[in-house]
Amino acid sequence: MLEVIVSTMPFLLEGLWVTFEISMITIFFGSLIGVLVGMLRTLNYAVINVPLGAYIHALRGTPFLIHLYFVYFMLPATGISWLQLEAFPAAVIALSLYTSTYVAEIVRGAIQAVPRGQGEAARSTGMTALQSMWYVVLPQALKLMIPPMGGVYVIIIKGTSIVSVIGIAELVRAGEHATQRHPRELMLIYGMTALMYFAYCYPVLRLARWAETKYGGVRLPS
Amino acid sequence: MDWILDFYNYRVVAQYLPDFARGLGATAWISLVALAISLSVGTLVAIMRMSTRQLLWRPAAAYVQAIRSTPLLIQIYLIYFTVPALPLLGRRLDELEGGIIALGLNAGAYMSEIIRAGIESISRGQVEGAQSVGMTYLQRMRYVVMPQAIARVAPTLLGQTAVLIKDSSLVSFIGVFELFGAGLLVYNERLMPNEGYLTVATCYLAIYAFMLWVTGIAQRRLGGTATA
C-alpha cells in the first residue's frame, strides 16, 4: 500500500498542480466577466438587462458539462478557424463563463445591498456616476463580496474535475491513470484524490466562513 | 431552409426522439430518487448537527464538510468503484444505484445546511410552547418545528433541487443512460454535436424554467406568510 502511495503520488501532485493552474486562471477571467456583467446589471436598462439576464439563466439552467461540450465540440463544428480550440483553452473558457454567472449575481447583490443614500450623497457632492461608483459604492460593496467569493472559488475547484472528460490531465484524470496501473487499489487512489481536493477546498471554505463572520456578506445564490 | 438543416438537422433529432424521451425519463427518475434520499439524509444530519452531544454533531459536521470540499465526480467514482458487495444485496452496486446514492448523499449535505437554517429560524417560544403542553421531543419536531421550518426554506430547497437535476448529468460518466447520455448517443452515432447537445441543453432549460416557476409559487404561497 505504501508502495502504491509512493509511486502514484508524483502523478497525483502533477494533476493537483494542473487543477490549481486552471482554477487560478478561471477565477481571474471568471471574476473579470462576472464583475462586468454584474455592474452592468445594476444600471437597470432593459436593453442591457434582458440579454444579460438571459445569459445568466441560460448558463444557470444547464449543466456545466453542456457548456464544456458546447465550447469544445460545437464551436469547432461551425468551421470558423479561430473557434477551433485546444482542450485547455476550451476548458478555461467554459469554466470562466460558468463562474461569471455566480460572480455577476454576487456583485449585483452586493452593490444593491449598499444603501441608496450612499450613492445619492456622493452624487450630491458633485461626483459623476462613475466617481460615486468607484470611490463610494464599490469599496463598501467589496467587503460584502469577499465571503461568497470563497464559495465561488470552491465551486471552480470542484468544477475543474469535470474537464477531465475532454482529456485534460488534472487531478481526476491523474487519478484515473493511476488506477489503470494499480487496478486493485481503486479505493486508495480515489481516496487520495479526494483528500487532495479536500486539502485544497476546505481551507478556502473556512476562510470564507471567517470572512463572513467578520464582514457579513451577500448569500451565494444556489 | 438548407442553412437550418446544416446547423440543426431536426429530422435527425426526430429520429432520435424516443432516445431523448427515454433520457428525459431517466433523468427525472434519477433526480426524484436522489431527492428523496437527500431530503431524508439532510433532515437526519441537520438534527444531528444541532445536537449538543459530540458523538452526534461531530460526525454530522464532518460529513457536510467532506461532501462540500470534494467534487461530486470523485464522490460518484468512490461509491461506484470502491463500495464492495453489500451483505443485504448480495452483490455490488450497479451504475444506476451507485450514481443515485452518490447524488443523494451529495445533495443531502447541502439540503442539511438549508434545513438546519430553517430549524434555527424557528423562534424559541414555539418550542417552549410545545414543551409546556407536554409534547415530547419527537412530537415537537413533527408537529411544531418541522412544518414551519420546511415551509420557510421550501424555495431554497427547490433551488437546490434544480442544482441536483443539473448534477445528475454527471452519472453519465459511469455509464448510466440519462438525458445527457442521449446527447452523447447522437454525437457518437452521427457525429452531430449540435443535434445532440443543443437538444439536451433545451431539455435542461425547460426543466430549469419549470423549477423556477415552482419556486416562485412556493415563495408566494409559503415564504411570505409563515413568519413567527
Domains along the sequence of chain B with CATH? 2-223 (1.10.3720.10)
Contact A222 B70 (CB under 8 A): no
Answer yes or no: is A175 within a domain: yes
Contact B66 A61 (CB under 8 A): no
Of B64, B119, B166, the C-alpha closest to A205 is: B64
Answer yes or no: is A222 within a domain: no
SS (H, E, C) chain B: CHHHHHHCCHHHHHHCHHHHHHHHHHHHHHHHHHHHHHHHHHHHHHHHHCCCCHHHHHHHHHHHHHHHCCCHHHHHHHHHHHCCCCCCCCCCCCHHHHHHHHHHHHHHHHHHHHHHHHHHCCCHHHHHHHHHCCCCHHHHHHHHHHHHHHHHHHHHHHHHHHHHHHHHHHHHHHCCCCHHHHHHHHHHHHCCHHHHHHHHHHHHHHHHHHHHHHHHHHHHHHHCCCCC
The model's pLDDT over A71-124, given as tens digits with 9 standing for 90+, comes to 998 888 787 888 888 999 999 999 999 999 999 999 999 999 999 899 899 999
Which residues from B are below 8 Å from A62, CB to CB? Answer: 166, 201, 204-205, 208
Contact B180 A65 (CB under 8 A): yes
The model's pLDDT over A178-221, given as tens digits with 9 standing for 90+, comes to 999 888 888 899 999 999 999 999 999 999 888 888 877 666 55
pLDDT reading at B214 higher than 70: yes
B127 to chain A nearest CA, in Å?
Answer: 27
B164 to chain A nearest CA, in Å?
Answer: 10
B64 to chain A nearest CA, in Å?
Answer: 11
Answer yes or no: is A205 within a domain: yes
Query: Which residue's entry shows cell 449585483?
Result: A108
Which residues from B are below 8 Å from A184, CB to CB? Answer: none
pLDDT at B226: 46
What is the domain-level CATH number for residue A165? Answer: 1.10.3720.10
Give the residue from A62, A153, A197 with the most B CB atoms within 10 Å of its CB, the best one to mutate: A62
Mean pLDDT for chain B overall: 91
Distance CA B131, CA B126 (A): 9
Answer yes or no: is A221 within a domain: no
Domain that holds residue A186: 2-215
Distance CA A194, CA A174 (A): 12
Distances (CA, A) of B15 to A201, B11, B203, B219: 44, 6, 17, 40
| CB count in 10 Å sphere of residue A175 | 25
Which residues from A are below 8 Å from B163, CB to CB? Answer: 222
Once rounded to an integer, what is the mean pLDDT over residues B21-28? 95
Which residues from B are below 8 Å from A221, CB to CB? Answer: 159
B167 to chain A nearest CA, in Å?
Answer: 7
The model's pLDDT over B152-163, given as tens digits with 9 standing for 90+, comes to 999 999 999 999
Contact in structure between B47 and B56 (CB atoms under 8 Å):
no
The model's pLDDT over B62-109, given as tens digits with 9 standing for 90+, comes to 999 999 999 999 999 999 998 888 888 888 889 999 999 999 999 999
Q: Which residues of A touch B (CB under 8 A)?
A: 57-58, 60-66, 69-70, 73-74, 77, 154, 157-162, 164-165, 172, 175, 179, 186-187, 190-191, 193-194, 197-198, 201-202, 205, 221-222
Which residues from A are below 8 Å from B75, CB to CB? Answer: 194
pLDDT at A217: 65
Query: What ipTM score was computed for the predicted complex, to two decimals?
Result: 0.88
B218 to chain A nearest CA, in Å?
Answer: 16
Sequence-separated (6 or more) residues with CB below 8 Å from residue A169: A14, A15, A18, A177
pLDDT reading at A156 higher than 60: yes
Answer yes or no: is A220 within a domain: no
Structural domain count of chain A: 1
The model's pLDDT over A124-137, given as tens digits with 9 standing for 90+, comes to 999 998 899 889 99
Under the banding of pLDDT at 50, 70 and 90, the label for residue B5 is confident
Distances (CA, A) of B12 to A105, A211, B9, B27, B215: 38, 52, 6, 22, 35
pLDDT at A221: 57
